[in-house]
Chains A and B, each alone.
Chain A
């Protein structure tokens, strides 16, 4: 199968985020025989978020590999396979369960290159669903991306759009280093149109998703659409908000953030992590270090309330960053 075969369909079509991810997986499996997908229920069951549905029938149990409930070992096995010439994609059911494999990710994937004096690379991709919104209560709803972004040796990306869902995986697989890719669970059903020719995307740079002049709203992953909604609401009140989608948390494209803040002179960071020790804190500090003198107001943050995510819908929604809170944070900055 050639690239041409993969991009046959019509010019653009309606597709979900889930389907875009599946296309990306399929594409990767077809392009490179070293690629395989491994994780809990990725095969027979079809993936617990149905992302890999159908792939087991198409590619077989060797390349769509169901594992036992052994996060640490199948994650470590992915690292070992990468060391030994494969290009594994390892799916961990949710970021909450990834904690059982944190040792392998932090102590092996992230460190082996450095500890070996540059002798080895670990070309593995970890796909990890993250985030809240489905009333799954505390042990299935957290957003711990910032913890991973803390670790040198890892690359951390978060596709928010259909283009990125379709394109980031291949770029991540081309990267010789371990990439942790966070998929927000509320995005899987998101539908939109995607160019049939959509392919690999850059994973190094942030992008401006909506231009504006009065304030920069900085976010990533599942919070992007809430932030865009807030920007739209602000426009009705004559506040022009620019929205920056970070896409990559490590390396962080501070340049794009700082350039935007230098123009708008105000910044609000929207992050589904908890405020204390959050990734938003890191972005805020970068802005202080790099754009302090161009600020007209203190940097503000809209984060998740400092509670384990509760089960009831009203409490869950109250805990999470919402458009109204983003609007309020911006208005406070504007002195409105």
Chain B
């Protein structure tokens, strides 16, 4: 991160407190996910586990611009989004374990975190499946005259799905208040972007649908926030949907089952030099905004929060098997 990259839009928010907040949020995701990786090895967390490590700047930058009444729709790589949205880490961790105290009562697991209280609407494991939902949520707000934004996170892989195109078209046609956030980490599982897309400049696809769009360095949390803030402001002003392509990278495998045969170690190492956490802290240190005691303090707080979450999950209960058929229907229905 250089002064130049920050210069154009970010000035108003470059206070020490605000930047420390962003740093703290990224560290929370990073450490939480590292701990999840360990818990997966210990078989405490099962099923698929998709880590977000390397991409934290996207969630941190965008979430900073959302209001409590806004809604968030995310994918299966959504732990960071859930936590930054305000879902208690305890409830997220318990969900990872599958415990009844989890934010989805253990029914969803890592890919299906839900929390209506913070307006976090999943947790969708169908690639691009969340986009139409976000369009509909925004439609409801629009029809009810509620000045809210629906933020929809998805990967570059989703761009190849028909639903991506249908959703952008519909959102633009009806001028719906959706912020589409494409987390372009260059890979859909093992398929590199240029092997899946004839046009790899993804924000251009949105432009075709008359959706205001831009690409930002997704490893630069300040750049992400600045762009997201402009876009959420525009949405709130009635400008219709906006599309933010965040160019980022995941440092870990796609999921815990992925031997990563499709990319060089050197490529990963190269991207790690852009680590969003290291980058922000180095820059803050350079400009005198990060004091020596800050990071250790953030790390300590985060560790305590995570350990409390693990303890909460460990102490959680397994839902009784007698409740298996609960919550299939809102009313009790005997099929």
Contacts and interface: CB of A to CB of B under 8 A. Distances in A.
Nearest to B132: A76
Contacts of A252: 335
A73 B167 contact: yes
Given A72-B163, A73-B170, A107-B126, A115 B135 contact: no
Contact of A76 (B112, B122, B135): B135
Contacts of A119: 104, 114-116
A34 to B, nearest CB: 8
Given A68-B170, A80-B137, A84-B136, A116 B122 contact: yes
A72 B326 CA distance: 28
Contacts of B132: 72-77, 79-80, 104
A244 B122 CA distance: 42
B166 interface: yes
B327 A117 contact: yes
A79 B166 CA distance: 15
B42 to A, nearest CB: 24
B90 to A, nearest CB: 15
B140 A80 contact: yes
Interface in A68-116: 68, 70, 72-86, 88, 103-104, 107-108, 112-116
Contact of A68 (B73, B139, B166): B166
B335 A152 contact: yes
Contacts of B242: none
Interface residue range, chain A: 35 or more
Given A70-B169, A119-B115, A81 B139 contact: yes
A104 B143 contact: no
Nearest to B116: A119
A103 to B, nearest CB: 6
Contact of A84 (B137, B167, B170): B137
B328 A152 contact: yes
A72 B335 contact: no
Interface string B84-105: 0000000000000000001111
Interface string A103-144: 110011000111111111100000000000000000000000
Given A81-B136, A251-B335, A118 B143 contact: no
Contacts of B115: 119
A176 B327 CA distance: 12
A115 B138 CA distance: 22
Contacts of B129: 76, 103-104, 107-108
A116 B108 contact: yes
B136 A177 contact: no
B5 to A, nearest CB: 35
B108 to A, nearest CB: 4
Given A68-B170, A108-B129, A115-B107, A80 B123 contact: no
B107 A114 contact: yes
B297 to A, nearest CB: 35
B106 interface: yes
A148 B138 CA distance: 27
A115 B112 contact: yes
Given A115-B122, A152-B328, A177-B330, A73 B104 contact: no
Q: Which 5 A-B pairs have the closest CB atoms?
A: A80-B136, A76-B132, A117-B105, A77-B136, A73-B166
15 contacts: A72-B163, A73-B132, A76-B131, A76-B132, A76-B135, A80-B132, A84-B141, A86-B140, A112-B114, A114-B327, A117-B327, A120-B114, A176-B330, A177-B329, A252-B335
Interface of A: 36, 62, 67-68, 70, 72-86, 88, 103-104, 107-108, 112-121, 152-153, 155, 175-177, 250-252
Given A113-B327, A114-B107, 16 more contacts: A72-B162, A73-B169, A74-B166, A77-B133, A77-B139, A79-B132, A79-B136, A80-B136, A80-B137, A103-B163, A104-B129, A112-B122, A113-B329, A177-B329, A250-B335, A252-B335
